[in-house]
Amino acid sequence: MARKYFGTDGIRGRVGEYPVTADFMLKLGWAAGTVLTRNTEGKKRVLIGKDTRVSGYMFESALEAGLIAAGVDVDMLGPMPTPAIAYLTRTFRASAGIVISASHNPVEDNGIKFFAADGYKLPDEVELEIEALMDKPLVTNGSYSLGKARRLSDATGRYIEFCKGTLPAGYDLNGLNIVVDCAHGATYHAGPRVFKELGASVITMGNTPNGFNINDQCGSTHMDGLQEAVTEAKADLGIAFDGDGDRVLFVDANGEIVDGDELIYIIAQHRRAAGNCDGVAGTLMSNLGLELALKELGIPFERTKVGDRYVVEALKANGWDLGGEASGHVLCSDLNSTGDGIVAALQVILALSESGQPLHQLKQGMVKFPQTMINVRLARKVDISDNQTINTAVAQAEQELDGRGRVLLRASGTEPLIRVMVEGEDQVLVDRLVADIAKIVEQQVG
């Protein structure tokens, strides 16, 4: 069944444009509260956290009202990384957790993500139940069965201690010089504190949110500033989070970006040496170089649809602990139930420390294939799967790659975009093919 509101990562869009409006969020709170607490024995309780967007105040209040109308108690956490909500939902034994964030998107956007009581994102069938209830009238409980709201003041401290606890007992970061870019987002408080409290020398940037500067020329989507800061400070490495803290990318001491695929490889290599990496889950966008490097280590690799929720499903099905995406979603499911930028960063640093090698050297075991992507923006979402002209262009490109590359076209789950990706050994060929296909897609449906 087609979903009306939910995409690959919750509900997301431009603030003020349906469904990212105050009235929709009010009803969404009521519908989600009703569905997600139906099997709760005793007091119904939902946590709400958010990133630093100015619109978060409005949507926080609207969701709070809807949940209370459904008889659900609400704990307001304030600005908090997405993975912190997943963790706290479990530890507080809440019925569900809600995150108000558009992740790496600009401030003009916002969205909603949900976590079930176990800290995992909702399965499709539960999202469909929420959507079905959205089509029914909102019914407000009477005074004696309304929920209540409160603000939790110690949530950040709890999450910081959790992150530190994912490292071996007694391990510290003394002697490590790092630059941390918080994207003026949800990690602005917790991120630097974790590394400082573990003993690292930390230069912090992107940690003065004002409601409007989230992801603005900073964080994991704009790495130039971090690269410059690392080389100028002669730091050991740089760490960049996105707006809600579920993504992380690194910069090595030479100022070179280390993407999610490379970080996954580093963690997998370290865990394999310790005998505890049975397999890795990636996505259709994962670099072919990661697959080949893992094969050299004897580590099975499985691709899923794009989206960390599908990576989680593959990890569960296979009984594996490690997976993620090149964008920086790195999942260590033995430590947290969703992509956690801070926890993943600590796992990379642990691998560096125990190997005795710098980041630039440790990533050399994975040779990335040139991979170029062009986003073709559409006036509206269009299904291109049956377009013969586009399919012919893809087939011709695959023939030119001669089995040593890939072509992938996929619709964005959160924006009206067609992502055109070509991967191969020859950068010049890759760039030409991706430009040709993108032009044809634009001509056909742009």
pLDDT in tens, 160-213: 999 999 999 999 999 999 999 999 999 999 999 999 999 999 999 999 999 999
Whether pLDDT at 413 is above 80? no
Same-domain status, 360 and 263? yes
Which residues form the domain of 232? 159-365
Same-domain status, 114 and 234? no
Q: Which of 95, 103, 286, 333 is catalytic?
A: 103
Which residues neighbour 83 within 8 Å (Cβ) at sequence distance 6 or greater?
A: 245, 246, 336, 338, 339, 340, 341, 342, 343
Residues 401, 421: contact at Cβ < 8 Å?
Answer: no
Q: Does the active-site annotation cover 286?
A: no
Same-domain status, 148 and 169? no
What domain count does the chain have?
3
Reported confidence tier of residue 2, pLDDT bands at 50, 70, 90: confident
| pLDDT score for 39 | 86
Same-domain status, 131 and 220? no
b/e code 107-136 from CB counts within 10 Å (16+ = b) = bebbbbbbbbbebbbbeeebbbbbbebbee
Same-domain status, 285 and 396? no
Boundary residue ending a domain (153, 186, 215): 153
Mean pLDDT, range 16-21, rounded to an integer: 97
| pLDDT score for 414 | 65
Same-domain status, 145 and 172? no
24-50 pLDDT per residue, tens: 999 999 999 999 999 888 889 999 999
250-269 pLDDT per residue, tens: 999 999 999 999 999 999 99
Q: Report d(CA 37, CA 147) in Å as an integer.
A: 12
5 found inside a domain: no
170 found inside a domain: yes
**CA atoms in the 13 A half-sphere facing the CB of 347:** 30
Same-domain status, 81 and 184? no
Same-domain status, 169 and 149? no
Reported confidence tier of residue 378, pLDDT bands at 50, 70, 90: confident
CATH code of the domain in which 269 resides: 3.40.120.10
28 found inside a domain: yes
Token pair, residue 155, equals 């949530």
Same-domain status, 251 and 312? yes
Reported confidence tier of residue 1, pLDDT bands at 50, 70, 90: low
| pLDDT score for 382 | 81
Counting residues of the chain whose pLDDT is more than 70, the rounded percentage is 99
Q: Prior bond to 106 cis, omega within 30?
A: no
Residue type, 79: P
Same-domain status, 189 and 319? yes
Boundary residue ending a domain (98, 124, 153): 153
54-81 pLDDT per residue, tens: 999 999 999 999 999 999 999 999 999 9
Query: Within a 10 A sphere around the Cβ of 228, how many other Cβ atoms?
Result: 14
Average pLDDT score, the chain: 95
Q: Report d(CA 266, CA 77) in Å as an integer.
A: 33
Boundary residue ending a domain (112, 132, 153): 153
Mean pLDDT, range 361-374, rounded to an integer: 94
| pLDDT score for 306 | 84
Mean pLDDT, range 354-362, rounded to an integer: 95
Same-domain status, 191 and 340? yes
Which pTM value belongs to this model? Answer: 0.91
Same-domain status, 65 and 28? yes
